[in-house]
Amino acid sequence: MQTISAVLYFLSHHPGWSFLLLVLFFGALYAVTKKLIFGILTLLMPIANIFLAHMLNAWFLNAYGVKGTGIVTLISETSSTLNDNPIYDYDVLVKTPDGEDVLTGFSTMSAAIYPVRNAILLPPTNEAFVLKYIPGYEKNIVVLSDESAYGLARIVHENKQLVEKARIQFEASRNNGRFKEEYKQALKTFIADPDNLSDDMALREYREVLHSLE
């Protein structure tokens, strides 16, 4: 497992070198075997690695890693960009369950985040987050966003937006029975969702509002 973790770390954190090595590897296989599949892989794998390596790394570490905690100690803007947005480097301190401290890091491009989404959701500085790693190669980590405080706060915020949408509809047309029922259902859904347990104030407020609408 350590070897697999090390390979995935290299592929996701060093895309330039990985591109070259993958071209050489599959190119050599094609030259030796003359099989078309290796010729196709020579073209596809280096490019696919740039976009998919961090996702594969996230899946592997979540499936086989053990939990620890981490904290971002520094976020530095680089000269590179992604979709016209700056790419940042993150310095991270990893704390293992047995008390070991490991210094590591990742960038906006190389970060492994689970669950995998079409968004890059990374923790802020000086706030503990949950992670997984393979014992013996602790520098390769996956951030468990939905189990970390910053990720849970994002989930609660998104859930509150659904309640807010229903509230605005109801406030704009109080005589509309459908809007009232949708508002009540949005409140009930928020209250029943265990992901929202961390927001005590919102839960109390929504219970009071729901009671007034019954």
Same domain, residue pair 125 and 157: no
Token pair for residue 122? 């990374």
| CATH classification at residue 96 | 2.40.50
pLDDT, average across residues 23-40: 79
Same domain, residue pair 58 and 71: no
Cα separation, 165 vs 159, whole angstroms: 10
Peptide bond into 97 cis (omega under 30): no
Q: In this model, does residue 27 exceed pLDDT 80?
A: no
The three-class DSSP label of residue 103 is: strand
When pLDDT is cut at 50, 70 and 90, the band that residue 23 belongs to is: confident
**Beta-strand pair 112-114/137-144:** parallel
When pLDDT is cut at 50, 70 and 90, the band that residue 76 belongs to is: very high
Q: How far is CA 11 from CA 32, 111, 160, 182, 209, in A?
A: 24, 12, 38, 48, 52
Same domain, residue pair 30 and 96: no
When pLDDT is cut at 50, 70 and 90, the band that residue 103 belongs to is: very high
Domain around 58: 2-62
Query: Within 10 A of 24 (CB to CB), how many other CB atoms are there?
Result: 12
SS3 readout for 107-141: ECCCCEEECCCCCCCCCCECCEEEEEEECCEEEEE
pLDDT of residue 69: 96
pLDDT of residue 111: 94
Averaged confidence pLDDT in the chain: 91
Most confident range, picked from 7-21, 45-59, 91-105: 91-105
Q: How far is CA 125 from CA 62, 75, 92, 198, in A?
A: 22, 7, 9, 21
Same domain, residue pair 119 and 48: no
pLDDT of residue 93: 97
pLDDT of residue 119: 82
Q: In this model, does residue 195 exceed pLDDT 80?
A: yes
Same domain, residue pair 76 and 100: yes
pLDDT of residue 22: 82
Q: Give Cα 49 to chain centroid, integer Å.
A: 18
Provide the 8-state DSSP code for 83: T
Cα separation, 71 vs 96, whole angstroms: 12
pLDDT, average across residues 58-68: 96
Cα separation, 27 vs 24, whole angstroms: 5
Q: In this model, does residue 191 exceed pLDDT 80?
A: yes
When pLDDT is cut at 50, 70 and 90, the band that residue 38 belongs to is: confident
Same domain, residue pair 8 and 75: no
When pLDDT is cut at 50, 70 and 90, the band that residue 83 belongs to is: confident
Q: How far is CA 70 from CA 96, 123, 135, 166, in A?
A: 9, 10, 15, 37
Q: In this model, does residue 39 exceed pLDDT 80?
A: no
pLDDT, average across residues 97-101: 90
Domain count, the chain: 3
pLDDT of residue 17: 85
**Cβ-contact 102, 94 below 8 angstroms:** yes
Considering 117, 144, 171, which residue would you say is the last residue of a domain? 144
At 118-175, the pLDDT tens digits run 888 899 999 999 999 999 999 999 999 999 999 999 999 999 999 999 999 999 999 9
Considering 93, 126, 144, which residue would you say is the last residue of a domain? 144
- 149-172 and 177-192 helices cross at what angle (nearest 10)? 160
